[in-house]
Amino acid sequence: MTTEAAIISTKGLNLYYGDNHALQEIDISFARNRVTALIGPSGCGKSTLIRCLNRMNDLVDNVRVEGEILFDGEDIVSPRTDVVEIRKRIGMVFQKPNPFPKSIYENVAYGPRVHGIRDKKTLDQIIEKSLKDAALWDEVKDRLHASALGLSGGQQQRLCIARTLAVEPEVILMDEPCSALDPIATAKIEDLLEELKKRYTVIMVTHNMQQAARSSDYTGFMYLGKLIEFGETDQIFEAPREQLTENYVTGRFG
Ligand SMILES: Nc1ncnc2c1ncn2[C@@H]1O[C@H](COP(=O)(O)OP(=O)(O)OP(=O)(O)O)[C@@H](O)[C@H]1O
Protein backbone atom coordinates (compact mmCIF):
# COMPACT_ATOMS: atom_id res chain seq x y z
CA MET A 1 0.00 0.00 0.00
CA THR A 2 1.06 3.57 -0.52
CA THR A 3 2.26 5.60 2.44
CA GLU A 4 1.11 8.80 0.73
CA ALA A 5 -2.16 10.45 1.74
CA ALA A 6 -5.05 8.59 0.15
CA ILE A 7 -7.96 10.47 -1.38
CA ILE A 8 -10.01 7.31 -1.97
CA SER A 9 -9.65 3.94 -0.36
CA THR A 10 -11.74 0.81 -0.52
CA LYS A 11 -12.09 -1.72 2.28
CA GLY A 12 -13.42 -5.22 1.72
CA LEU A 13 -15.11 -4.12 -1.50
CA ASN A 14 -17.18 -6.82 -3.17
CA LEU A 15 -19.39 -6.41 -6.21
CA TYR A 16 -21.80 -8.93 -7.70
CA TYR A 17 -23.49 -8.73 -11.11
CA GLY A 18 -26.24 -11.23 -10.26
CA ASP A 19 -24.26 -14.38 -9.37
CA ASN A 20 -21.02 -13.13 -10.92
CA HIS A 21 -18.71 -12.11 -8.07
CA ALA A 22 -16.85 -9.50 -10.17
CA LEU A 23 -14.89 -7.75 -7.38
CA GLN A 24 -13.60 -9.79 -4.47
CA GLU A 25 -12.43 -8.22 -1.20
CA ILE A 26 -10.68 -5.28 -2.83
CA ASP A 27 -8.57 -3.15 -0.48
CA ILE A 28 -6.86 -0.37 -2.39
CA SER A 29 -5.81 3.21 -1.65
CA PHE A 30 -5.43 5.87 -4.30
CA ALA A 31 -2.87 8.54 -3.48
CA ARG A 32 -3.85 12.17 -3.90
CA ASN A 33 -2.27 14.03 -6.85
CA ARG A 34 -0.84 10.87 -8.31
CA VAL A 35 -1.66 8.73 -11.33
CA THR A 36 -2.65 5.18 -10.48
CA ALA A 37 -3.00 2.62 -13.27
CA LEU A 38 -5.13 -0.51 -13.06
CA ILE A 39 -3.93 -3.32 -15.30
CA GLY A 40 -4.93 -6.93 -15.85
CA PRO A 41 -6.43 -9.23 -18.46
CA SER A 42 -9.81 -8.64 -20.03
CA GLY A 43 -12.72 -9.25 -17.69
CA CYS A 44 -10.67 -9.06 -14.46
CA GLY A 45 -12.76 -6.19 -13.06
CA LYS A 46 -10.75 -3.04 -13.79
CA SER A 47 -13.64 -1.07 -15.29
CA THR A 48 -16.01 -2.37 -12.64
CA LEU A 49 -13.67 -1.10 -9.94
CA ILE A 50 -13.34 2.41 -11.33
CA ARG A 51 -17.06 2.57 -12.04
CA CYS A 52 -17.67 1.90 -8.35
CA LEU A 53 -15.67 4.97 -7.44
CA ASN A 54 -18.24 7.39 -8.82
CA ARG A 55 -21.25 5.10 -8.50
CA MET A 56 -21.59 4.48 -12.23
CA ASN A 57 -22.53 0.87 -11.46
CA ASP A 58 -25.79 2.19 -10.00
CA LEU A 59 -26.95 2.37 -13.61
CA VAL A 60 -26.58 -1.41 -14.06
CA ASP A 61 -29.46 -3.74 -13.09
CA ASN A 62 -28.93 -6.48 -10.55
CA VAL A 63 -25.73 -5.10 -9.02
CA ARG A 64 -24.89 -5.59 -5.36
CA VAL A 65 -22.00 -3.78 -3.66
CA GLU A 66 -20.65 -4.64 -0.21
CA GLY A 67 -17.83 -3.03 1.72
CA GLU A 68 -16.62 0.53 2.01
CA ILE A 69 -15.34 3.17 -0.37
CA LEU A 70 -14.01 6.08 1.63
CA PHE A 71 -13.68 9.36 -0.23
CA ASP A 72 -12.33 12.12 1.96
CA GLY A 73 -13.43 10.05 4.95
CA GLU A 74 -17.04 9.61 3.77
CA ASP A 75 -18.41 6.19 2.78
CA ILE A 76 -19.77 6.75 -0.72
CA VAL A 77 -21.35 3.29 -0.98
CA SER A 78 -24.01 4.52 1.43
CA PRO A 79 -27.51 5.06 -0.03
CA ARG A 80 -27.46 8.50 1.61
CA THR A 81 -24.61 9.64 -0.65
CA ASP A 82 -25.47 12.49 -3.01
CA VAL A 83 -24.53 10.76 -6.28
CA VAL A 84 -24.71 13.96 -8.37
CA GLU A 85 -22.24 15.63 -6.02
CA ILE A 86 -19.95 12.57 -6.09
CA ARG A 87 -19.92 12.56 -9.90
CA LYS A 88 -19.01 16.24 -9.88
CA ARG A 89 -16.10 15.64 -7.52
CA ILE A 90 -15.05 12.39 -9.22
CA GLY A 91 -15.28 12.88 -12.99
CA MET A 92 -14.94 10.25 -15.68
CA VAL A 93 -13.47 10.02 -19.17
CA PHE A 94 -14.45 7.01 -21.25
CA GLN A 95 -12.69 4.72 -23.71
CA LYS A 96 -14.30 6.13 -26.82
CA PRO A 97 -14.39 9.93 -27.05
CA ASN A 98 -18.06 10.79 -26.58
CA PRO A 99 -18.56 14.52 -27.19
CA PHE A 100 -22.16 15.72 -27.41
CA PRO A 101 -23.27 16.61 -30.97
CA LYS A 102 -22.94 20.29 -30.10
CA SER A 103 -20.28 22.97 -30.44
CA ILE A 104 -16.90 22.76 -28.72
CA TYR A 105 -18.02 25.60 -26.44
CA GLU A 106 -21.31 23.95 -25.53
CA ASN A 107 -19.62 20.66 -24.70
CA VAL A 108 -17.47 22.30 -22.05
CA ALA A 109 -20.23 24.67 -20.84
CA TYR A 110 -22.62 21.79 -20.23
CA GLY A 111 -21.41 20.72 -16.77
CA PRO A 112 -21.01 24.21 -15.30
CA ARG A 113 -24.51 25.10 -16.60
CA VAL A 114 -25.99 22.00 -14.96
CA HIS A 115 -24.36 23.17 -11.74
CA GLY A 116 -26.06 26.57 -12.05
CA ILE A 117 -23.47 28.80 -13.71
CA ARG A 118 -25.27 31.08 -16.18
CA ASP A 119 -23.12 34.21 -16.39
CA LYS A 120 -21.59 34.40 -19.89
CA LYS A 121 -18.30 35.94 -18.77
CA THR A 122 -17.80 33.32 -16.07
CA LEU A 123 -18.62 30.55 -18.56
CA ASP A 124 -16.18 32.00 -21.11
CA GLN A 125 -13.45 31.97 -18.48
CA ILE A 126 -14.19 28.39 -17.43
CA ILE A 127 -14.19 27.24 -21.04
CA GLU A 128 -10.87 28.89 -21.82
CA LYS A 129 -9.25 27.54 -18.67
CA SER A 130 -10.59 24.00 -19.13
CA LEU A 131 -9.49 23.86 -22.77
CA LYS A 132 -6.06 25.20 -21.82
CA ASP A 133 -5.73 22.66 -19.02
CA ALA A 134 -6.68 19.90 -21.45
CA ALA A 135 -3.98 21.17 -23.88
CA LEU A 136 -6.58 21.85 -26.58
CA TRP A 137 -7.08 25.63 -26.48
CA ASP A 138 -4.54 26.56 -29.14
CA GLU A 139 -6.06 24.10 -31.59
CA VAL A 140 -9.68 25.22 -31.15
CA LYS A 141 -9.70 28.82 -29.92
CA ASP A 142 -10.71 30.12 -33.35
CA ARG A 143 -13.57 27.67 -33.81
CA LEU A 144 -15.21 27.36 -30.42
CA HIS A 145 -18.66 27.43 -31.99
CA ALA A 146 -17.93 24.72 -34.57
CA SER A 147 -19.23 21.21 -34.00
CA ALA A 148 -17.18 19.04 -31.65
CA LEU A 149 -17.80 16.16 -34.04
CA GLY A 150 -15.47 17.84 -36.58
CA LEU A 151 -12.47 17.33 -34.28
CA SER A 152 -10.04 14.44 -34.66
CA GLY A 153 -10.36 11.50 -32.25
CA GLY A 154 -7.45 12.73 -30.14
CA GLN A 155 -8.89 16.25 -30.02
CA GLN A 156 -12.30 14.85 -29.10
CA GLN A 157 -10.76 12.94 -26.21
CA ARG A 158 -8.99 16.08 -24.95
CA LEU A 159 -12.34 17.88 -25.29
CA CYS A 160 -13.93 15.20 -23.09
CA ILE A 161 -11.14 15.79 -20.57
CA ALA A 162 -11.84 19.57 -20.74
CA ARG A 163 -15.54 18.84 -20.20
CA THR A 164 -14.64 16.85 -17.09
CA LEU A 165 -12.27 19.55 -15.80
CA ALA A 166 -14.90 22.28 -16.26
CA VAL A 167 -16.74 21.24 -13.09
CA GLU A 168 -13.50 21.23 -11.09
CA PRO A 169 -13.37 17.61 -9.99
CA GLU A 170 -10.85 16.34 -7.46
CA VAL A 171 -10.45 12.93 -9.07
CA ILE A 172 -10.52 11.97 -12.74
CA LEU A 173 -11.32 8.37 -13.64
CA MET A 174 -10.14 7.30 -17.07
CA ASP A 175 -11.30 4.03 -18.59
CA GLU A 176 -8.76 3.17 -21.30
CA PRO A 177 -8.65 6.79 -22.48
CA CYS A 178 -6.23 6.14 -25.33
CA SER A 179 -7.40 2.82 -26.69
CA ALA A 180 -9.19 4.46 -29.64
CA LEU A 181 -6.32 6.87 -30.39
CA ASP A 182 -3.23 6.74 -32.59
CA PRO A 183 0.28 6.91 -31.04
CA ILE A 184 0.63 10.70 -31.52
CA ALA A 185 -2.73 11.46 -29.90
CA THR A 186 -1.85 8.97 -27.15
CA ALA A 187 1.46 10.74 -26.48
CA LYS A 188 -0.42 14.04 -26.08
CA ILE A 189 -2.75 12.54 -23.50
CA GLU A 190 0.21 11.02 -21.65
CA ASP A 191 1.95 14.43 -21.55
CA LEU A 192 -1.28 15.88 -20.28
CA LEU A 193 -1.42 13.35 -17.44
CA GLU A 194 1.86 14.75 -16.12
CA GLU A 195 0.27 18.20 -15.90
CA LEU A 196 -3.09 17.03 -14.57
CA LYS A 197 -1.66 15.18 -11.62
CA LYS A 198 -0.27 18.42 -10.20
CA ARG A 199 -3.85 19.36 -9.38
CA TYR A 200 -5.94 16.22 -9.69
CA THR A 201 -5.84 12.59 -8.75
CA VAL A 202 -6.00 10.35 -11.81
CA ILE A 203 -7.10 6.71 -11.75
CA MET A 204 -6.72 5.04 -15.10
CA VAL A 205 -7.57 1.65 -16.55
CA THR A 206 -5.22 0.65 -19.32
CA HIS A 207 -4.48 -2.39 -21.44
CA ASN A 208 -1.29 -0.79 -22.60
CA MET A 209 1.51 -1.86 -20.32
CA GLN A 210 3.99 0.66 -21.71
CA GLN A 211 1.46 3.37 -20.98
CA ALA A 212 1.04 2.23 -17.38
CA ALA A 213 4.81 2.05 -16.97
CA ARG A 214 5.38 5.50 -18.51
CA SER A 215 2.49 7.45 -17.05
CA SER A 216 1.61 6.15 -13.61
CA ASP A 217 3.11 6.47 -10.16
CA TYR A 218 1.27 3.45 -8.75
CA THR A 219 -0.06 0.34 -10.43
CA GLY A 220 -2.58 -2.25 -9.33
CA PHE A 221 -2.64 -5.62 -11.05
CA MET A 222 -6.02 -7.37 -11.07
CA TYR A 223 -6.87 -10.93 -11.97
CA LEU A 224 -10.26 -12.70 -11.87
CA GLY A 225 -11.89 -10.04 -9.69
CA LYS A 226 -9.04 -9.80 -7.19
CA LEU A 227 -6.36 -7.19 -6.64
CA ILE A 228 -3.30 -9.40 -6.82
CA GLU A 229 -0.63 -6.78 -6.25
CA PHE A 230 -0.42 -3.05 -5.76
CA GLY A 231 2.65 -0.87 -5.48
CA GLU A 232 4.84 1.78 -7.01
CA THR A 233 4.82 1.36 -10.76
CA ASP A 234 8.57 0.71 -11.01
CA GLN A 235 8.32 -2.05 -8.44
CA ILE A 236 5.34 -3.71 -10.15
CA PHE A 237 7.11 -3.75 -13.52
CA GLU A 238 10.69 -4.37 -12.43
CA ALA A 239 10.39 -6.44 -9.27
CA PRO A 240 6.88 -7.88 -8.94
CA ARG A 241 6.35 -9.86 -5.77
CA GLU A 242 3.65 -12.15 -7.13
CA GLN A 243 4.23 -14.75 -9.81
CA LEU A 244 0.93 -13.86 -11.51
CA THR A 245 1.98 -10.22 -11.78
CA GLU A 246 5.30 -11.21 -13.25
CA ASN A 247 3.63 -13.50 -15.79
CA TYR A 248 1.33 -10.68 -16.84
CA VAL A 249 3.84 -7.83 -17.05
CA THR A 250 6.27 -9.98 -18.98
CA GLY A 251 3.55 -10.81 -21.49
CA ARG A 252 3.20 -14.49 -20.63
CA PHE A 253 -0.58 -14.16 -20.57
CA GLY A 254 -3.17 -11.52 -21.11
N1 LIG B 1 -22.89 -4.29 -16.91
C2 LIG B 1 -22.52 -5.53 -16.60
N3 LIG B 1 -23.46 -6.47 -16.33
C4 LIG B 1 -23.10 -7.75 -16.02
N5 LIG B 1 -21.83 -8.16 -15.93
C6 LIG B 1 -20.86 -7.28 -16.18
C7 LIG B 1 -21.14 -5.91 -16.52
N8 LIG B 1 -19.97 -5.27 -16.71
C9 LIG B 1 -19.00 -6.17 -16.50
N10 LIG B 1 -19.51 -7.38 -16.18
C11 LIG B 1 -18.75 -8.61 -15.86
O12 LIG B 1 -17.89 -8.32 -14.77
C13 LIG B 1 -16.60 -8.88 -14.96
C14 LIG B 1 -15.54 -7.78 -14.96
O15 LIG B 1 -15.73 -6.96 -16.13
P16 LIG B 1 -14.97 -5.58 -16.33
O17 LIG B 1 -15.55 -4.93 -17.55
O18 LIG B 1 -14.96 -4.82 -15.07
O19 LIG B 1 -13.50 -6.10 -16.62
P20 LIG B 1 -12.28 -5.34 -17.26
O21 LIG B 1 -11.08 -5.84 -16.55
O22 LIG B 1 -12.50 -3.88 -17.27
O23 LIG B 1 -12.31 -5.91 -18.75
P24 LIG B 1 -11.84 -5.22 -20.13
O25 LIG B 1 -10.38 -5.02 -19.98
O26 LIG B 1 -12.19 -6.27 -21.15
O27 LIG B 1 -12.62 -3.97 -20.29
C28 LIG B 1 -16.70 -9.68 -16.25
O29 LIG B 1 -17.01 -11.01 -15.91
C30 LIG B 1 -17.85 -9.03 -16.99
O31 LIG B 1 -18.48 -9.94 -17.84
Q: What is the pTM of this model?
A: 0.93
At residue 154, φ and ψ (nearest 5 deg) are -65, -40
Low-confidence winner among 21-30, 58-67, 118-127, 232-241 (lowest mean pLDDT): 58-67
Q: Could you tell me which of 240, 229, 177 has the C-alpha nearest to residue 44? A: 229
pLDDT at 254 (0 to 100): 65
Which run of H or E residues covers position 227? Answer: strand 226-232
Domains of the chain: 6-98+169-250 (3.40.50.300)
With bands split at pLDDT 50, 70 and 90, how would you rate the model's confidence at 180?
Answer: confident
Report CA(132)–ligand 1 centroid distance (Å).
34
Q: What is the pLDDT of residues 48-68, one digit of tens each?
A: 999 999 999 988 999 999 999
CA of 204 to the centre of ligand 1 (A): 16
Q: Which of 23, 47, 223 to mutate to test the pocket of ligand 1 (most atoms within 8 A of CB)?
A: 47
Pocket of ligand 1 (CB under 6 A): 17, 20, 22, 40, 42-48, 60
Alpha helices in 90-182 (DSSP H): 104-114, 120-133, 137-140, 153-165
- Counting residues of the chain whose pLDDT is more than 90, the rounded percentage is 81
Q: Which helix (H) or strand (E) element contains residue 243?
A: helix 243-249
Q: Which residues contact 155 (CB under 8 A, 6 or more apart)?
A: 136, 139, 140, 185
pLDDT for 73: 87
Q: Whose CA is nearest to atom 27 of ligand 1?
A: 42
Give the atom of ligand 1 at the shortest distance from the alpha carbon of 47. 22
**What's the pLDDT at 85?**
92
For ligand 1, the distance from its centroid to the CA atom of residue 109, given in whole angstroms, is: 32
